Structure 1
Amino acid sequence: MAGFCRSVRRRNAARLLALSLTAFSAASASAAETAAADADAGVSTNPSESIVVTGTRFKAELAPAKASLDITEPQTIINRQYIENFLPATSDYVGILAIAPSMTGTDSNGPGLSDGGVKNTLRGLPDGSFAMLYDGIPFGDTNGPSHHSLSYFPASTIGAAVVDRGPGNAGNLSAATFGGTLKLFSEELSDESHGKAAFSYGSFQTSYENLNVQSGAFGTDATRVLLNIEHKYSAGALSQQDLHEYNVLLKAEHDFGQNWKLTLFTDYANLVEHLNDNNGATPAQVMAYGKNFAMQNTDPTLPTYYKYGRTRKQTDMDYARLQGSVTDNFKIDDTLYTYAYTNHTFSSRNIEQTAAEIAAGTAEGMGSLNSKFTPIVNGVKQPATDVPGYSKLNAYRVWGNILRLSEDYQFGSVTGQLRAGVWWEGNRTIRARYDFDLTRCVQLGLYPSNNYYYIAGQANSLAACQDSSLATAALKNAATLTPNGYAEFDEHSSWYQYQPFAELEIHPIENLTLTPGIKYVDWEHKTSALIEPKLLPLRPYTGQYTTKKTLPFVQANYKIQSSWSIYAEYAQGIYVPDIGSFEQKATVDQFPAAETTTNYQVGTVYYADNFTADADLYLIKVNNNYSTQDCGTLGGLKGDLCFVNTGAATYKGIEAESTYAFSGPLDGFQVFGSGSVMSSKSGGVWIKQAPFWTAAAGVIYKRGAWQFSVMDKTTGPQYEDNAQNPIYKLGSFSTVGLTGGYTFDNFEFDVSIDNLFNSRSVVAITENSAAGAQGFVPNSIDQYFYQAPFSVMGTLKAHF
């Protein structure tokens, strides 16, 4: 989200409002349910106990799709059984969460095989408009709270997930919670020692290895340890878009005293992939090379050469958490944490090609047809076949603490719980982009992204391929000379924020729960830039601004019967303006207004003997609605994500999910379904990348040694631009997955198929073309993304 350009945007949807496979069977399903209930109470914890439903023979813990009877906003639970048994082993959280109602997300390179896939959206809101938590810790980019699906937590590190489709209570924390909260949980530690080794191999030369070992409880005071190690390699479904990924997770718990527990956690990930920073195939490239085209390995005179698109990302998350009871009624939960992200990217500036450029053996802005981007090194213009590009750094370290206090109370017949706490956080961020002649860099064996950020002596070693072409009047002085080279931007920023919160859970009468609460946001951003992005002329800038807001909410839940509840919620929310607020073309003297929301929701949850269902209605009114757009179309840096203010917006819809479990001769079979019908408009115009509807359906069988599933997720039509241009309207697309497995002794063998019917629909478009060259035509430089093709993977697991 480099630039701050902030600009924004039904029918046809009488489809089945049924079903999302979001939890399946056994103890982990009930575990996930408890996680959800605890999260609703403002306590971030891992699942542990079963929900109790009386008056019905239905086993709630076996339901594939359900919500807790105690919820106060719409919710979907996804547990470890579903993640491990009914998804490809390589999956990331985008694929895991996409099955939930109103959620979308896919990966054009294959399941979990790229950090540049099509991100999750929720209720038509883009990534960054909803929160993401891991073990209760909010995480995301510091230049805007978006996320990278492979950079932190692959599927093997996720023990359960909860999709809260609403702003949550006062204790629900993030820079942007109004769109909902995606809560990921690490695996729960067991008192019994056990382990698992898994190996997978499948399409696109994909290999996957995973070792997961739990020590069980040992020592006088119980101590438990988990070690999870993962390695993944794939050539990828897209040409030359391969990746290597490693992840190591270590988690330890120690019980001491009476009712006290200390948890220590660390996770480290390293991802290296060939991925162009401006990826996506133009219509001419698709016509010439097919829908799987991304890069090539034969012609280094073209920006599509694979060595000109390389990314290395390193992340870690670490925390210490103390939980305990001071008295029978008073409890403390305190988490001290830090996480970090470093992205070193080496990329060509433009990889788009029209049909004419393909025929001439060149690409957009370079070569024989148009050489305006020809690199200049040490004052000498290089051959027109040299490829211009840049080295980019986005690196940050975040640290913080979340303190939660709770006190149970009783006044006469009224009981409840008072909860309060405070979240504080700080960070340091470096974002920079320096220009290079990629052809010369590769010829000389110099990869700026390998030894970036610049330290003493490095700038001189890279001088042989530094490119000054953008620092000329002909290219509007889009870069400038610094001691480190020719920079498009070089920005150091930080924030310091705190959010105290309090809420009171009240049970005035039997079966009724009322929870009013309040949260105060105080968020200070600072920047000290050597070169501030987009500030013209390019120059240093130092500044700061603070966002302050008080956010009230109230929630209610009433149990009509022990197996039937209704709920309602009112809440205010905010998207805290991010570091892009400093990135303006003119003098920075006025900062953008915060995006604020008012949310209304009502819903119901029901359990019967063989049936569970939940449904809800929602309305979100937004002031200063922000929609994403490539900055290149707005006069900024191509490949960066700009946010565009469309003014007021309204998001509304209906969602539902349901499960039916068979008995008798069909015992072991369950059918499920989910769906949503949505309206997401600003100024009467559909907001981009907001589907009209979503639907999912499937069948699961699990009995004895056999298990089987088939499931479909369909995403309805949507626009890919902010003007509701019919050229950029996508049709609905569907992805069917099939899994099967057999257990023998201590071994399991599973087969998973992704995109069973090889659907290759367009799933996203990046709009680059001027009027007259838009759409799927030979002279267009718009970029298209497609569903990944059919793939199959076999997995052998050994339990010990």
Structure 2
Amino acid sequence: MNAIECKKNTLSVMVLAGIAMLCATHAAQADNTVNLGSVQSTSGSGTAANSTSKKQQSAAYQAPTKAPLKATQPQSIIGQQYIQHNTAPTANYTDIASIAPSVSDIAPNGAGGMESQGLSMRGFQDGQYNVTFDGIPFADSNDFTHHSTSYFMPQDVRSITVDRGPGSASTIGDATFGGTIAVDSREPEAVAALTPYASFGSHNTHLFGLRYDTGAIQSLNGTRAYLNYKNSSTDGALTYAGQKRQNLVVKSETPIGDNTVLTLFAMYNKIHQNVPLGATLAQIQKYGSNYGLNNDPTSQAYYGYNYDELASDLEYMDIKSLLNSWTLDNKLYSYGYRHDGFNGLDPNGNTANGTIYGANNVPGQRMSNNYRSFGDIFRLERSLGPGTFKTGFWLDRQHNTRTQYEIDMTLGGLFNASSMLAATDRDMVDTLDTAQPYVEYDWKPTDRLTITPGVKYAYFHRNIDAAVNQKTGTPLSYSQSWEKALPNFSVHYQLEPNWTVYAQWAKGFLAPNLNIFYTADPSLNSVVPEQTTNTQLGTVWHSQALTLSADVYHIKFDNKIEHHKVASQTIYYNAGGATYKGVEGEATYYLGSGFSVYGNGSINSAKDTTTGNWLPNAPDRTFAAGLIFNEGGYYASLIAKHVGQRFGTGSDPSTDSKLPAYTIANLNTSYTLKNAMGPMHNATVSFQVSNLFNKSGLLDQPGTTADGTPLYWTIPGRSYMLSLSVGL
């Protein structure tokens, strides 16, 4: 066992052992009024103790998305109310976030049926923005993209905040460049409960789960913990694109004295999935819009040759404490991702069969991508003069091994070459070290005005040791560091207790991807981090009947990394950039008698500054509208999301890369019986219809076949989901 695995196992064992001890010592009785101390949980504050009926009669409670009054940049909070009632039990965080203004997602296999094929936020693509879980940034270090099915599920998500901007100086992450999607976990309940749940739906989709809450354990100072296990499977909306998934989450919160809370968290996830790459227009016309893979063992598109085996985990220990006049928050974490993937050489193309073992044998590839990150997030703040002083740092190291081999699928994976080395496309080890200290000050010259200057210093260091480097096929040992100071300035003014305005100017940045090392001599490259300059203005209004927010933004993207060839050498350099600009808004109005109406919208522009062309997968507008009813145990919503025109791999309107606008409507209904029979309580049944009007069409152009024929994703057809849960 290497040092990295030893460290990972040590943290995992410490987290699990701590939570197991808490559950094992759980007293038979629970205290519903336990005080978790003066310090809130690191994952966020719990639900207020107001009556449910009073909360239901407000726009803030029923709003699918809303901006907080304290916002200093455009921001949409998607709460547990929306997640519980409007998202499929199998959904990815990308499916949930897609309701927000300026956000669109590509999910051709149904909610959670495969990894998101591209979430766009104002035109920024995956890898250009952060995703965090309980404040922890996680991503593949090579290009900062995310695996949306490999970590958390909706049953463990309390809220998702979509920050459409680089945030303040204290916002950490490798890709603050385009914003942050911040996912927060649910908290343990104060009352002991056992909650089984199940879902059944279209495409032979099943999900079975069980959550156990210890309640407040009096013998452990009011500690609360829960364990939540899910097992799901689906055949998928696309042909032969099935998925099987298992997910386990354990979390505990322990008060230590009156001013400290210890949080332990662990998540484990395992997936087997068959993975299509899209379909050509000819395949869609011949086999239907739901074509993915086939069942022909002589084909490179055979589902038995195109699959992934995935295992992932995330653990953290967090201490949050009041020390005299200081608030301390320190989070030690680790997360890992293990991916073994297989695919036919050209599943949708015209590449003929044939390997060194036979002219009719099916050629394919076997890859692995295994990484482990360790990190620490340390934050301090205190009142100082007429404001609050904040400082801290983020440290992270990710170690990644990546391989790919050419193989013979017909013969079960034999190397398709005279030797292992000859069959090797890549064999690489790389590391990324990140350090981000920051300082900022919330200056309050008056009770209504807050001015926040701040600066973050970003440092990152890449190293690669490749026996066979990607693209070149030759050995490489190389490292390089970059650093950048990122200033931030925001102004927040409270016009009225329920009405605020804000302005922000901030710098964002994006570390160069590992692909700049995929060249024979990376020292010939001349690149600096890509960066943005964000200017944003907005306003937020809250009342019992109305939540309303609106903003305008202008983002200048500089230092775009390009490449060209000099002889046989690929050289990377900075040239040009892009301009993003637009207007956004969202509102919910409570009509009365349990009814509210909801809407959001954006008009967006994302264009290359050199060519003037639209950037790929950047919609020119998004809109959402819906009607919601929530009274007593009844809930119903009909919400439609419209995504405007965008382009695939190119932006020339005369080509087939132009993709049409589309609108999808979803119907969600549920009923909760608070006091069921005997020991049962909170019994809930829900029924969901996705794509109610069975719309069809092209979603995205993800790439091409080996001979350059475009591939497409299509809109999945109408589907249904029935879900049941009961508290015991």
Identify whether the pair has TM-score above 0.5, normalized to the shorter chain: yes
> Aligned with 1:94: secondary structure?
helix
Contact persistence 2:289–2:714 (CA under 8 A): yes
Query: Structure 2 CA distance, aligned partners of 1:121 and 1:153?
Result: 20
Query: Structure 1 CA distance, aligned partners of 2:453 and 2:49?
Result: 24
In the alignment, what sits opposite 2:144? 145
Query: Structure 1 CA distance, aligned partners of 2:580 and 2:522?
Result: 34
In the alignment, what sits opposite 2:23? none
In the alignment, what sits opposite 1:190? 189
Out of 662, 675, 692, the residue aligned to residue 591 of structure 2 is: 662
Q: Which amino acid aligns with 2:582?
A: G
Mapped pair 1:527 → 2:464: yes
Cα offset, 1:508, TM superposition: 0.4
In the alignment, what sits opposite 1:350? 346
Out of 643, 658, 665, the residue aligned to residue 729 of structure 1 is: 658
> Aligned with 1:84: secondary structure?
helix
Query: Structure 2 CA distance, aligned partners of 1:602 and 1:743?
Result: 41
In the alignment, what sits opposite 1:452? none
Mapped pair 1:420 → 2:388: no
5 Å matches for 1:568-717? 568-584=503-519, 588-625=523-560, 647-663=576-592, 667-682=593-608, 683=610, 684-717=612-645
In the alignment, what sits opposite 1:293? 291
Contact persistence 1:58–1:607 (CA under 8 A): no
Q: Which amino acid aligns with 2:429?
A: H
Query: Structure 2 CA distance, aligned partners of 1:737 and 1:679?
Result: 27
Q: Which amino acid aligns with 1:569?
A: Q
Contact persistence 1:178–1:599 (CA under 8 A): no
Q: Which residues of structure 2 form unaligned runs of 5+?
A: 1-38, 51-56
Contact persistence 2:59–2:588 (CA under 8 A): no
In the alignment, what sits opposite 1:221? 221
Contact persistence 1:50–1:61 (CA under 8 A): no
> Aligned with 2:664: secondary structure?
strand
Mapped pair 1:764 → 2:700: yes
Q: Which amino acid aligns with 2:454?
A: G
5 Å matches for 1:129-278? 129-218=128-217, 219-276=219-276
Percent identical residues: 31
The alignment covers a number of residue pairs equal to: 670
In the alignment, what sits opposite 2:14? none
> Given the superposition, is the C-alpha separation of residues 568 and 466 from structure 1 closer, same or farther in structure 2, using an over 3 Å criterion?
same
Contact persistence 1:581–1:591 (CA under 8 A): no
> Aligned with 1:81: secondary structure?
helix
Query: Structure 2 CA distance, aligned partners of 1:72 and 1:784?
Result: 38
In the alignment, what sits opposite 1:785? 713
In the alignment, what sits opposite 1:408? 383
Cα offset, 1:607, TM superposition: 2.2
Mapped pair 1:392 → 2:388: no
> Aligned with 1:237: secondary structure?
coil
Cα offset, 1:768, TM superposition: 2.6
> Given the superposition, is the C-alpha separation of residues 769 and 210 from structure 1 closer, same or farther in structure 2, using an over 3 Å criterion?
closer
Mapped pair 1:79 → 2:79: yes
Q: Which amino acid aligns with 1:468?
A: A
Of stretches 607-616 and 173-182 in structure 1, the one that deviates more from structure 2 is 607-616
In the alignment, what sits opposite 2:114? 114
In the alignment, what sits opposite 1:3? none
> Aligned with 2:285: secondary structure?
helix
Q: Could you give the per-residue CA deviations for residues 159-191 of structure 1, whole angstroms, max 9, x where no partner exists?
A: 111111110011111111121110001102232
Q: Which amino acid aligns with 1:282?
A: T
Query: Structure 2 CA distance, aligned partners of 1:704 and 1:690?
Result: 41
> Aligned with 2:119: secondary structure?
strand
> Aligned with 1:616: secondary structure?
strand
Cα offset, 1:645, TM superposition: 7.0
Cα offset, 1:220, TM superposition: 4.4
Cα offset, 1:61, TM superposition: 4.1
TM-score scaled to structure 1, two decimals?
Answer: 0.80
> Given the superposition, is the C-alpha separation of residues 741 and 87 from structure 1 closer, same or farther in structure 2, using an over 3 Å criterion?
same
Q: Which amino acid aligns with 1:678?
A: N
5 Å matches for 1:14-29? none
Q: Could you give the per-residue CA deviations for residues 476-528 of structure 1, whole angstroms, max 9, x where no partner exists?
A: xxxxx555x61111110012221110000111012001110001011110000
> Aligned with 2:118: secondary structure?
strand
Q: Which amino acid aligns with 1:241?
A: A
In the alignment, what sits opposite 1:65? 65
5 Å matches for 1:446-525? 465-468=414-417, 482=420, 486-525=423-462
Cα offset, 1:284, TM superposition: 1.5
Contact persistence 2:42–2:263 (CA under 8 A): no
Query: Structure 1 CA distance, aligned partners of 2:518 and 2:375?
Result: 26
Contact persistence 2:476–2:520 (CA under 8 A): no
Query: Structure 1 CA distance, aligned partners of 2:323 and 2:429?
Result: 43
In the alignment, what sits opposite 2:28? none
Query: Structure 2 CA distance, aligned partners of 1:423 and 1:609?
Result: 39
Query: Structure 2 CA distance, aligned partners of 1:291 and 1:339?
Result: 37
Query: Structure 1 CA distance, aligned partners of 2:227 and 2:263?
Result: 14
Contact persistence 1:162–1:184 (CA under 8 A): yes
Q: Which amino acid aligns with 1:793?
A: M
Q: Could you give the per-residue CA deviations for residues 706-752 of structure 1, whole angstroms, max 9, x where no partner exists?
A: 21111011110001123424321111011111011122323211100
Cα offset, 1:570, TM superposition: 0.6
> Given the superposition, is the C-alpha separation of residues 559 and 492 from structure 1 closer, same or farther in structure 2, using an over 3 Å criterion?
same
Query: Structure 1 CA distance, aligned partners of 2:503 and 2:423?
Result: 55
Q: Which amino acid aligns with 2:704?
A: N
> Aligned with 1:557: secondary structure?
strand
Q: Which amino acid aligns with 1:387?
A: V
In the alignment, what sits opposite 1:440? 411
> Aligned with 2:68: secondary structure?
coil
User: Over aligned residue pairs, what C-alpha RMSD do you find?
Assistant: 2.5
> Given the superposition, is the C-alpha separation of residues 644 and 179 from structure 1 closer, same or farther in structure 2, using an over 3 Å criterion?
farther
> Aligned with 1:156: secondary structure?
helix
Q: Could you give the per-residue CA deviations for residues 449-489 of structure 1, whole angstroms, max 9, x where no partner exists?
A: xxxxxxxxxxxxxxxx21028xxxxxxxxxxx555x61111
Query: Structure 1 CA distance, aligned partners of 2:167 and 2:698?
Result: 34
> Aligned with 2:270: secondary structure?
strand
Query: Structure 2 CA distance, aligned partners of 1:119 and 1:231?
Result: 25
> Given the superposition, is the C-alpha separation of residues 546 and 51 from structure 1 closer, same or farther in structure 2, using an over 3 Å criterion?
farther
Cα offset, 1:151, TM superposition: 1.0
Contact persistence 1:242–1:273 (CA under 8 A): yes
Contact persistence 2:373–2:397 (CA under 8 A): yes
> Given the superposition, is the C-alpha separation of residues 646 and 670 from structure 1 closer, same or farther in structure 2, using an over 3 Å criterion?
farther
Cα offset, 1:149, TM superposition: 1.1
Cα offset, 1:58, TM superposition: 5.9
> Given the superposition, is the C-alpha separation of residues 565 and 251 from structure 1 closer, same or farther in structure 2, using an over 3 Å criterion?
same
Q: Which residues of structure 1 form unaligned runs of 5+?
A: 1-37, 354-363, 368-373, 447-464, 470-480, 637-641, 774-779
Higher RCO (CA-CA < 8 Å; seq separation 6+): 1
Contact persistence 2:705–2:711 (CA under 8 A): no
> Aligned with 2:90: secondary structure?
coil
Mapped pair 1:799 → 2:727: yes
In the alignment, what sits opposite 1:19? none
> Given the superposition, is the C-alpha separation of residues 643 and 81 from structure 1 closer, same or farther in structure 2, using an over 3 Å criterion?
farther
Q: Could you give the per-residue CA deviations for residues 276-306 of structure 1, whole angstroms, max 9, x where no partner exists?
A: 4xx1111121121111111111x21111111
In the alignment, what sits opposite 2:646? 718
Q: Which amino acid aligns with 1:717?
A: Q
Contact persistence 1:714–1:732 (CA under 8 A): yes
Q: Could you give the per-residue CA deviations for residues 34-91 of structure 1, whole angstroms, max 9, x where no partner exists?
A: xxxx99xxx9642336699xxxx96644544321111100111111121111122111
TM-score scaled to structure 2, two decimals?
Answer: 0.88
> Aligned with 2:73: secondary structure?
coil
Query: Structure 1 CA distance, aligned partners of 2:309 and 2:65?
Result: 37
Q: Could you give the per-residue CA deviations for residues 135-177 of structure 1, whole angstroms, max 9, x where no partner exists?
A: 0000011111111110111212211111111100111111111
